[in-house]
């Protein structure tokens, strides 16, 4: 994503009267700071002269691009297409009519540029400069939809159906958008809420059209929106890729995360560096009573969500750091007394080099705590989906720690109870993910698993190593 670029997404369908004037206004709209703009117009199978006008504008202005659908697929489908080509750090949805004023872009973008928001909605119902007074029943349906969506998403928005929405582009790209028509509005809202996105609202002016003037949304779209809300209210379909889905599933496994945190907490010092913090499933348990806690990950979206979840913690520092890149550790020499690396080492091609990077951030006598999957014989489809390079034996783990320069204090068995389920899902059934239902059922019984785990006769699912940097 280009940090100084705004991607303006314009879904277009049969707006030959307005598209020319609209694009010219978008081109003339003042942008805050040094932002540049790219305008992505998606013609959604128009059968009037809209596409030809947009094509002429694209030929005249380098920042305007025209993308085409062979047939009409709907606003949601058009926005999906525009997103695939968006290169800006931020993106903004602009309908192809003249109901919203592009001169208000700066107002919409300010919370994003200040780093306070992940998404900003331009509300027609907050106090604003002006709005055209139109249909009572249309406004009532909008308010009912907004209330229903707020219930599903646990938000207090005033205008879910607003056209004006701005986002961090990488966030919106990481969310699967299934709706083809106007159902995209509640779908995206619910999924943003489930991702713990920081959503802001700002007032915008609104110059709505009548149906005689070309307004397209109608009663059937309102009914569809209700059905969309019902569909995505219980859904966990909030990531495009499998790995984050597993992280999301584990975010609900509160008892299991607490078990893991309780197991390693006795070895933590006052200053901690966590590698692979993800969305903070373990961070929120380990950060308490630490003077300094540096949470790192290689995925900016995970870090953004972690910051949102733990924004009340003044001792938190969140930054990008890749265990396999020595350059990411150059600014962290001997800065902490504890390094926590849970379910990360198995992803790194050169695990010894990764451990040496970890050694460099520790003060003399500091500890590294590592959790890795145990048993190469248990390697299956879930490991592949998660990007695991390998699973470890106790001897292998000790060997690479010593080779990297650590002194191994102990290696603990952890979570024997999960091994039969892991083998069943990943090896015998060939599944590539963990069922949320299975995980919730497992989590409810953690009180029992903690008591019987060490007595089970088979090998554990994971190993926990505690190693020290020589003083």
Q: Which residues, in sequence order, are bridge partners of residue 139?
A: none
DSSP reduced 3-state for 257 = helix
The predicted structure's pLDDT at residue 297: 94
Nearest to 10 by CA among 2, 21, 337, 378: 21
CA distance 130 to 12: 25
Q: Are 171 and 301 in contact (CB under 8 A)?
A: yes
The predicted structure's pLDDT at residue 245: 61
CA 239 to chain centre: 7
In whole angstroms, how far apart are CA 120 and each of 154, 188, 202? 17, 12, 7
| Pairing verdict, β 271-275 and 336-342 | parallel
The predicted structure's pLDDT at residue 417: 95
Spans of the chain below 50 pLDDT: 209, 211, 213
Domains of the chain, CATH where assigned: 2-232 (3.90.550.10), 242-468 (3.40.50.150)
Laid out side by side, the sheet with 64-69 consists of 64-69, 36-44, 2-12, 88-93, 165-168, 119-123, 199-203
User: pLDDT tens digits, residue range 407-436?
Assistant: 999 999 999 999 998 888 887 887 877 777
Token pair listed for 428: 């015998």
Q: Which residues contact 308 (CB under 8 A, 6 or more apart)?
A: 118, 196, 197, 198
**Alpha helix positions (H), 341-393:** 351-361, 381-386
Residue 187, CB-side half-sphere exposure with 13 Å CA sphere: 24
Neighbours of 64 (CB within 10 A): 22
The predicted structure's pLDDT at residue 304: 85
CA distance 405 to 423: 33
């Amino acid at each position: 994503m280009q940090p100084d670029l705004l991607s303006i997404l314009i879904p277009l369908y049969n707006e030959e009267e307005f598209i020319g004037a609209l694009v010219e206004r978008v081109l003339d709209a003042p942008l805050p700071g040094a932002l540049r703009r790219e305008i992505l117009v998606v013609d959604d199978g128009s059968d009037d002269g809209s596409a030809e006008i947009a094509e002429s504008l694209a030929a005249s202005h380098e920042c305007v691009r025209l993308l085409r659908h062979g047939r009409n697929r709907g606003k949601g489908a058009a926005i999906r297409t525009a997103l695939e080509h968006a290169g800006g750090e931020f993106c903004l949805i602009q309908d192809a009519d003249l109901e919203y004023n592009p001169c208000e872009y700066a107002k919409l973008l300010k919370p994003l540029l200040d780093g306070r928001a992940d998404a900003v909605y331009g509300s027609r119902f907050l106090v604003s400069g002006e709005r055209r007074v139109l249909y009572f029943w249309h406004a009532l349906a909008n308010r009912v939809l907004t209330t229903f969506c707020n219930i599903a998403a646990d938000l207090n928005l005033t205008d879910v159906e607003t056209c004006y929405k701005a986002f961090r582009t990488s966030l919106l790209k990481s969310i699967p958008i299934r709706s083809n028509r106007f159902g995209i509005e509640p779908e995206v809202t619910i999924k943003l809420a489930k991702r713990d996105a920081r959503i802001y609202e700002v007032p915008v002016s609104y110059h709505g059209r009548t149906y005689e003037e070309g307004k397209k949304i109608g009663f059937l779209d309102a009914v569809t929106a209700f059905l969309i809300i019902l569909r995505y209210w219980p859904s966990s379909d909030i990531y495009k890729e499998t790995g984050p889905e597993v992280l999301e599933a584990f975010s609900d496994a509160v008892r299991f995360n607490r078990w893991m945190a309780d197991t390693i907490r006795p070895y933590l010092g006052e200053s901690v560096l966590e590698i692979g913090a993800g969305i903070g499933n373990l961070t929120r348990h380990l950060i308490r009573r630490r003077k300094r806690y540096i949470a790192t990950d290689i995925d900016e979206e995970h870090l953004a969500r972690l910051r949102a979840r733990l924004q009340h913690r003044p001792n938190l520092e969140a930054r990008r750091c890749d265990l396999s890149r020595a350059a990411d550790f150059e600014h962290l020499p001997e800065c902490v007394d504890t390094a926590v690396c849970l379910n990360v080492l198995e992803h790194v091609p050169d695990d010894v080099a990764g451990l040496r990077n970890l050694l460099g951030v520790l003060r003399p006598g500091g500890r590294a705590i590592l959790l890795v999957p145990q048993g190469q014989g248990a390697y299956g489809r879930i490991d592949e989906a998660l990007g695991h390079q390998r699973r470890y034996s106790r001897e292998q783990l000790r060997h690479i720690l010593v080779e990297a320069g650590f002194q191994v204090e102990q290696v603990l068995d952890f979570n024997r109870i999960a091994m039969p389920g892991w083998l069943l899902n990943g090896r015998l059934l060939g599944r590539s993910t963990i069922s949320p239902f299975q995980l919730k059922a497992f989590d409810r019984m953690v009180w029992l698993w903690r008591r019987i785990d060490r007595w089970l006769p088979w090998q554990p699912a994971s190993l926990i190593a505690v190693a020290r940097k020589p003083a």
